[in-house]
Chains A and B, each alone.
Chain A
Amino acid sequence: MRRLLTPAVSSTPSLTALLAPRHVVVAALLAFLALLPVYAELARNPFLVTLFTRVIILALAATSLNLILGYGGMVSFGHAVYLGIGGYAVGIMAFEGIASGFVQWPVAIIACALFALVVGALSLRTRGVYFIMITLAFAQLVYYFGVGLDRYGGDDGLSIRQRSGFAGLLDLTNRTQFYYLCLVLLTAAVYLTWRLVNSRFGMVLQGSRTNDRRMRAIGFPTFRYRLAGFVIAGALCGLAGALLANHTGFISPATMHWTRSGDLIVMVVLGGMASSFGPLLGAVVLLTLEEALPAVIRALATPLFGEVAVRMAEYWQIILGPLFLLVVLFARGGIDGLLAGSRRD
């Protein structure tokens, strides 16, 4: 294990590298996130904390997807299923009277890891678009399984009346405590993936993305490495699912609808694939766009179109959709790529 986690490349950045725009932006964003509850308290705007708790949880899910999508080149189109499994693990246990987070969360993570092990073992045999579609198929299977869970609300979902308890150490009903817990977990996850991808394990994973046949020719059993990556990503996303269920106090099959998986892919690509903070940037930008785009359209269009602008703002997704297309066409490296400038391809 120690050998696997030793960085394979030197990672001591120089001072000029530290002052590169992407580092400044990431540092500013982290500082902003760390101070956000203070600001929300002063501005008497608790909604901000709720919104950004959601941003952070989805950023955690996107970070886990980035491990396999960005670094491993495995385009999983069913990653939201782990949000669902993690959420249902918490929801069902709360419903059946097991409220301790020390039980709920590990079960959520292990359930997701086991599911990822099965799905990965079967679907990593396929390539390209077949892989995209088989991961989608497994997610749909679980989605309809959730719809059929009669005892736990079926299609309508399940209300979780009780937050996960941590024996008095943490109070998840306290908005600020929950926010900081999510932030700490996200930071830990980003650090973990950074360590992973710069280790020997991560090098094999990335090598397999670039040229799987060559990696196998030089003697790496890449299937096992890819499967391990797939399981780690699933387990991490299961944690995000447990957090999300605690955040909304509700879990339903809609959490793992295929469009949710699409959203996670958007976050990863928008932020910048195969970059440590890319998914966080992507989640922040996507979710703030969703919140702010109507207001922005209204502000920009009112001087030009007057009353019509209010109606235009209602249809903000008409801007958001083509924006994805533009990112794909012109900003292949995502936000992280833009910040890094021409260093990336």
Chain B
Amino acid sequence: MLLLIEQCLNGVQLGLLLFLLAAGLTLVFGIMDLVNLAHGSLYMLGAYFAATFVGWTDSFLLGVLLALAATLLVGMALEVVALRRLYGRDHLDHVLGTFGLILFFNELVRMIWGPAGLSLQLPMWLIYPVELLPGLFYPTYRIAIIITALAVALFLYVLVMRTRIGMLIRAGASNREMTGALGINISLLYTLVFGLGAALAGLAGLMQAPILTVQIGMGENILILAFVVIIIGGIGSIRGAFIAALLVGLIDTIGRAFLPDLLRLLLSSRAASTVAPAMSSMLIYLLMAIVLVLRPAGLFPVTSR
């Protein structure tokens, strides 16, 4: 039972990380109609920046804030220099162009930081586990991830639904020309939205960094998962992304934790330990295929467009 609770918490934590990544993707997708495969590169950059700045400043929080700002700037620069030119093009163009950007960023990181991975050390106050329930110890850092991500989700909701800038974003999404005609600087708005998405990806990357190693290509597999999330949730829907992210996070984690035992009943233990991770990865794509077959526009289709 305690194991189940712990695995559920892990699932929620992975789900929330996926949400941060997916929120940026779905914003960019819903508003600019841009398929950005290079989103995973921003996730990677966030982690590399954090590892570097934490090392320089000797302070975890300061380093993380600097890394966020740096990812935001890189995102905005990327939008102005390259991606802006892809708006209104075919999705195939987006796939190809941003696929090229992945190669570019991977190589750039290899040039700057070298081929070996980095690691991001946690400060002492985030390392110790806390006792959530009698007998259930859970790492402080993972709790911190859950709280941060929930706070960001709330912030996003308030930003998009309750503020003036959010209103402009929604207006820009439903009718670009009309919003522009009303005197709103659409291209600046788009740059800001892209920067926001980049910062969210960077945040996800740097929060994952202390758990896994910081390495080249770290953003690629999780990017595909984030795409699965926004497709299941319905492209452009932040609420859909939130629910789908939790669903995917829970299925993946719980599958990984409990499938080996289940399969051991049927297979030899060696076979079970190889097959189980593969099967739990397959579960997610199976879920997506089923969702798309039943509801070709995702669980929460955005109908206004």
- Residues on A lying within 8 angstroms of B by beta carbon are 69, 75, 77, 122-123, 125-130, 132-134, 136-138, 140-141, 144-145, 147-148, 150, 154, 258-259, 262, 265-266, 269, 315-318, 320-325, 327-329, 332
Contact = CB atoms under 8 A, between A and B. Distances in A.
Contacts of A129: 29, 35, 91, 231, 235
B275 A150 contact: yes
Interface of B is mostly: helix
Nearest to A134: B292
A137 B95 contact: no
B296 interface: yes
B291 to A, nearest CB: 10
A140 B224 contact: yes
A40 B139 CA distance: 61
Contact of A321 (B91, B107, B279): B107
Interface of A is mostly: helix
Interface stretch (B98-106, B191-199, B204-212): B98-106
B220 interface: yes
Given A75-B92, A148-B279, A315-B111, A265 B99 contact: yes
B97 A325 contact: yes
A-B pairs, top 4 by smallest CB distance, nearest first, are A148-B278, A324-B100, A321-B104, A321-B103
Given A321-B100, A321-B107, 13 more contacts: A125-B293, A132-B35, A132-B95, A136-B224, A137-B231, A141-B289, A144-B282, A145-B282, A148-B279, A150-B270, A318-B108, A324-B97, A328-B97
B75 to A, nearest CB: 16
A258 B102 CA distance: 13
B271 interface: yes
Contacts of A258: 224
Contact of B103 (A125, A140, A144, A317): A317
A217 B103 CA distance: 43
B92 A265 contact: yes
B96 A318 contact: no
A328 B286 CA distance: 32
Interface stretch (B52-60, B81-89, B128-136, B159-167): B81-89
5 contacts: A125-B293, A137-B285, A144-B278, A262-B37, A315-B107
B110 interface: yes
B297 interface: yes
A132 B292 contact: no
Contacts of B235: 129-130
A150 B293 contact: no
A140 B285 contact: yes
A132 B91 contact: yes
A328 B93 contact: yes
A316 B102 CA distance: 13
Interface in B102-160: 102-108, 110-111
Given A269-B96, A324-B100, A130 B282 contact: no
A198 B82 CA distance: 37
B17 interface: no
A136 B37 CA distance: 13
Interface in B279-305: 279, 281-282, 285-286, 288-289, 292-293, 296-298
Nearest to A141: B285
Contacts of A322: 100-101, 104
Nearest to A140: B285
Contacts of B95: 75, 77, 132, 262, 265
Contacts of B111: 315, 318
B23 interface: no
B240 to A, nearest CB: 13
B231 A130 contact: yes
A230 to B, nearest CB: 16
Given A75-B91, A328-B86, A144 B281 contact: yes
Given A75-B91, A148-B274, A315-B110, A328 B96 contact: yes
A316 B91 CA distance: 27
Identify which of A125, A129, A323 gathers the most chain B CB atoms within 10 Å of its CB.
A129
Nearest to A151: B271
Nearest to B85: A329
B96 A266 contact: yes
Nearest to B92: A75
Contact of A134 (B89, B220, B282, B288): B288
Given A75-B95, A150-B271, A126 B224 contact: no
B296 A126 contact: yes
Contact of A317 (B104, B274, B292): B104
B227 interface: yes
Nearest to B271: A150
A128 B274 contact: no
Contact of B100 (A75, A130, A323): A323
B241 to A, nearest CB: 14
Nearest to B292: A134
